[in-house]
Amino acid sequence: MKIKFAILLILFGTVASFAQKSKKVTPIAPKEIFVSDLLSKMTLEEKIGQLNLPTSGDITTGQANSSNVAKNIEQGKVGGLFNIKTVQKIKEVQQIAVEKSRLKIPLIFGMDVIHGYETTFPIPLGLSCTWDMNLIKRSAQIAAQEASADGINWTFSPMVDISRDPRWGRVSEGSGEDAYLGSKIATAMVQGYQGDDLSKNNTLLSCVKHFALYGAPESGREYNTVDMSRIRMYNEYFPPYKAAVDAGSGSVMASFNEVDGIPATANKWLMTDVLRKQWGFKGFVVTDYTAIPEMSEHGIGDLQTVSALALKAGIEMDMVGEGFLSTLKKSYEEGKISLEEIDKATRLILNAKYDLGLFQDPYRYCDETRKTEIFTTSNRNEARKTAAQSLVLLKNENQLLPLKKTGTIALIGPLADAKENMAGTWSVSTKQDKSISLLAGINAAVGKSAKVLYAKGSNLDYDAKLEDKATMFGKTLHRDNRTKEELLSEALKIANQSDVIVAAIGEAAEMSGECSSRTNIEIPQAQKDLLAALLKTGKPVVLVLFNGRPLVLTEEKATVPAILDVWFAGSEAGYAIADVLFGDENPSGKLTTTFPRSLGQVPIYYSAKNTGRPLENKEGVFEKFKSNYIDERNEPLFPFGYGLSYTTFEYSNLKTSATKINFNEKVKVSIDVANTGNFDGKEVVQLYTRDIVGSVTRPLKELKGFQKIALKKGEKQTVTFELSAEDLKFYNTDLQFVAEPGEFEIFIGKDSNANINTKIELVK
């Protein structure tokens, strides 16, 4: 019998070895059975260990076995790692988990893959301005392909926080101010990362963040208090999170801020009642970086107390804080938490590893032959095309753009030759040295057909401290030590030799992003002075604006002939911007955030509600005892949905298939859109509704549909939308999701100022 058993072991080892070499995997039991069996074998310490997510720390190739983190892995005290990449490093660490730990449970490996991997797409705010869900989904697919080829299987993305305050730096990492559009983008991103089968080795487990309300901090200051009514949460801020959950996101990240006076990381109503009971979320929740110990600073208890609160609230994984690792056993022994609560959290982590296929093959993401899939020509070409569609043309007086590839072009500004800034914030894996600067892009576009002269013109700002504070991930602007007079003199010399001036100015990459809140959201003064001097030359000036947030551009709109908002367009930024500047691509981006006329208008957004004393005139003229300012107009500088093209579009013939519908019917709404200009182009046709009378006050307009269409010069197309009672629902004061009978106004147009309208009635 012993001989037969030995033979079986040898045979099993041979089969397993062959399976590994041939990339086949060993079949295992169904998830529930497999995970339950594994859970029954785990000690309390091993269960708690699965809930621990440290950063990679000092683990590097060749040192993994001697690192402190590695020792914890061997002892079963680590569930996953982040901030480690490359197949070689990850495989070496994974070997410790599956070959040296007692139960050989594999690790998951996470990273902030936010808007691409080595091939970097526009920052998420810019990406949202494409209004193209296929492009957005494809950007996530490419990010997943590249990151997974480098050993990573979990991304801390998408960030779906609604934000209406451009002082907050992380507006750059989200999709703007609107819950409907944000929900569509959240769905596209999750589907792009996770695909239709998470066990495929070219997918990533997504992590929707930051749950919840992180984009609405008081005073726009990072990590600050958030306070709002629940009806506002459900109607205006929750929808993108729910959309990501409905799309199957495998994990959720808790936000730093408090909700209803309780930090989100310890908020049971948020993590259990809303996320799991109301929305049916089946994945696991991870904290943000050190969020558990930070709750002590909020004033709700010591590390042991807040760790127990987090677990009981519905947090499964502790990122870096080690509150779970160091206190949960003691809390269990003291009866402050139950074994059932620990088991539930551990099970969800193990479920995710099962879904990723790691129990079948822990080295599934460690295929070194896949390194050829990273930063490919094909991926970079897609990033370039996507970037071109994210650019928003804000002004184009006398059709100054597109430029001709002839004559002399002066390219001036501190961001003209700053390739390390092109990818923008949260581009931790970007090949900064291979990013394309605007100078390189313009030179490549014109070749020998035109002469390009370059000067820096100014530093980012007169005060070097701003540059120092805005430095992250090595993205500096290499401050020029010449005096401002010397820099300006050089710029004016080449400006006076040119036929047209392209001014590349705005924010540096890390002036937006995490911990980059600003109280002044104008272009820094040194660059404003440079721009004013360039305008005085009398030469036509094109402002190429780099920014990660809406800026106050009131002066620039009044004085500069052409403004192209290029955000931070990714690793191929220079090529994409040049494509648009010279007309090889027609700009089609539309704003997903409102641009204020003045900082004092903030927060400002299109879907505001009326007051009892609304300002009724359309000219911004002050009226006594109305809801207005005495020193500024009410309307924004550029509205949500705004964006120009090199061609023109005309809208006409708005029709509805019915004037009344019941709760089981749909109405078709159609409009004719014609390209009446001289270029082929793309247009985002936007549909808004207004619920005229409701049981609670309703917004003046709400986006309920959009289509991005391509029209040849002279072409006309009928665009059709469908609306039903489901599209007209909202959360009432009892937090019931309802549609109420009554009249609804429908608007269709180029942006949120759309005034082509009709009415329908919803009847019982």
Give per-residue pLDDT as tens, 582-615: 999 999 999 999 999 999 999 999 999 999 999 8
| Residue 1: per-residue pLDDT | 39
Helix (H, G, I), strand (E, B) or coil at 309: helix
pLDDT for 620 equals: 75
245, 212 contact by CB (below 8 A): no
Inside any domain, residue 345:
no
Whether the per-residue pLDDT at 429 is higher than 90: the answer is yes
Residue 644's CB: how many other CB atoms inside 10 A? 20
Is the per-residue pLDDT at 12 higher than 50? no
Q: What is the mean pLDDT of residues 366-388?
A: 98
587 and 671 fall within a common domain: no
DSSP one-letter code for 282: -
Q: Is residue 554 part of a domain?
A: yes
Give the pLDDT band (50/70/90) at residue 461: very high
Whether 63 shows a pLDDT value over 80: the answer reads no
pLDDT of residue 615: 86
Q: Is 105 left (phi over 0), alpha (psi -120 to 50) or beta?
A: beta
Closest listed residue to residue 760, CA positions, set 629, 683, 660, 669 = 660
Q: If you average pLDDT over residues 161-190, what whole number do you get? A: 98
Q: What pLDDT band is residue 21 in, cutting at 50, 70 and 90?
A: very low
* Backbone angles phi and psi of 219, in degrees to 5: 65, 10
User: In this structure, are 583 and 657 located in the same domain?
Assistant: no
7 pLDDT above the threshold of 50: no
What's the pLDDT at 61? 44
Tell me: do 476 and 542 sit in the same domain: yes
Query: Which DSSP state fits 450?
Result: S
Confidence at residue 239, expressed as pLDDT on a 0 to 100 scale: 98
The CATH code of the domain that includes 710 is 2.60.40.10
Domain that holds residue 547: 383-592
Q: Are residues 424 and 543 in the same domain?
A: yes
Asked if 654 and 533 sit in the same domain, the reply is no
Q: Does residue 405 fall inside a structural domain?
A: yes
pLDDT score recorded for residue 206: 98
Confidence of residue 107 (pLDDT cuts 50, 70, 90): very high
* Structure confidence by residue, pLDDT tens digits, 229-252: 999 999 999 999 999 999 999 999
- pLDDT reported for residue 6: 39
Nearest partner of 145 among 375, 431, 481, judged by Cα: 375
First to last CA, the chain: 77
More confident residue, 467 or 723: 723
* Number of domains, the chain: 3
Identity of residue 145: Q
pLDDT at site 27: 79
Sheet holding 408-412, edge to edge: 392-396, 562-565, 541-546, 500-506, 408-412, 451-455
What pLDDT is attached to residue 68?
84
- Claim to verify: residue 562 and residue 413 sit in the same structural domain: yes
Q: Is residue 267 part of a domain?
A: no
pLDDT band for 549, please (50, 70, 90 cuts): very high
Q: What is the pLDDT of residue 24?
A: 52
Q: What is the 3-state secondary structure (H, E, C) of 352-365?
A: HHHHCCCCCCCCCC
205-219, 322-336, 453-467: segment of lowest average pLDDT:
453-467
| 559, 592, 625 - which closes a domain | 592
Q: Is 60 exceeded by the pLDDT of residue 59?
A: no
pLDDT category of residue 47 using cuts at 50, 70 and 90: very high
User: Same domain, yes or no, for 477 and 549?
Assistant: yes
Residue written as token pair 């050829």? 372
Do residues 101 and 362 touch, judged by C-beta distance below 8 A?
no
Q: Is residue 757 part of a domain?
A: yes
**Percentage of the chain lying above the pLDDT 70 cut:** 94
Paired tokens of 621:
């003229």
Q: What is the mean pLDDT of residues 651-664?
A: 97
Same domain for 566 and 424, yes or no, is: yes
d(CA 693, CA 700): 11
Are residues 554 and 698 part of one domain?
no
What is the C-alpha to C-alpha distance for residues 391 and 566, in angstroms, rounded to an integer? 5
Q: Are residues 554 and 472 in the same domain?
A: yes
CATH number at 512 reads: 3.40.50.1700
Q: How far apart are CA 307 and CA 48, in angstroms?
A: 12
Contact residues for 357 (Cβ-Cβ < 8 A; gap 6+): 25, 198, 199, 200, 201, 364
Q: 525 with 420, same domain?
A: yes
Verify that 405 and 498 share a domain, yes or no.
yes
Rounded Cα distance, 212 and 228, in Å = 11
Q: Which residue has the higher pLDDT, 619 or 553?
A: 553
Q: Quote the pLDDT of residue 66.
A: 52
Q: Is 232 inside a domain boundary? A: no
On the question of pLDDT at 14 being above 50, the answer is no
H-helix segments, 247-338:
268, 291-298, 303-313, 323-333
Domain termination residue (choose one: 592, 612, 638) = 592
Mean pLDDT of the chain: 94
Choosing from 112, 165, 178, 288, the catalytic residue is: 288
Could you tell me if residue 228 is inside a domain? no
State which of 75, 105, 135 marks the end of a domain.
105
Instruction: Identify the band that residue 58 occupies on the pLDDT scale cut at 50, 70 and 90.
Output: low
Instruction: Give the integer Cα–Cα distance in Å for 425 and 441.
Output: 21
Tell me the mean pLDDT in the region 297-310: 98
* Residue 39, Cβ density class (10 Å: 0-12 exposed, 13-18 middle, ≥19 buried): middle
Are the beta carbons of 346 and 51 closer than 8 angstroms? yes
Mean pLDDT score, 147-168: 98
Cβ count near 707 (within 10 Å)? 15
> Are the beta carbons of 206 and 185 closer than 8 angstroms?
no
**Given a cut of 80, is residue 475 above it in pLDDT?**
no
Q: 581 with 631: CB under 8 angstroms?
A: no
Residue 622, exposed/middle/buried by CB under 10 A (0-12, 13-18, 19+)?
A: middle
* Rounded mean pLDDT, 6-31: 51
Beta carbons within 8 Å of 237's beta carbon, 6+ residues apart? 161, 162, 179, 212, 213, 215, 216, 228
288 is catalytic: yes
Q: Are 178 and 239 in contact (CB under 8 A)?
A: no
Least confident of 73-77, 575-579, 616-620: 616-620
pLDDT, residue 503, reads 99
582 found inside a domain: yes
Distance CA 429, CA 409 (A): 33
pLDDT higher than threshold 90 for residue 468: no
Nearest partner of 633 among 649, 653, 619, 647, judged by Cα: 619
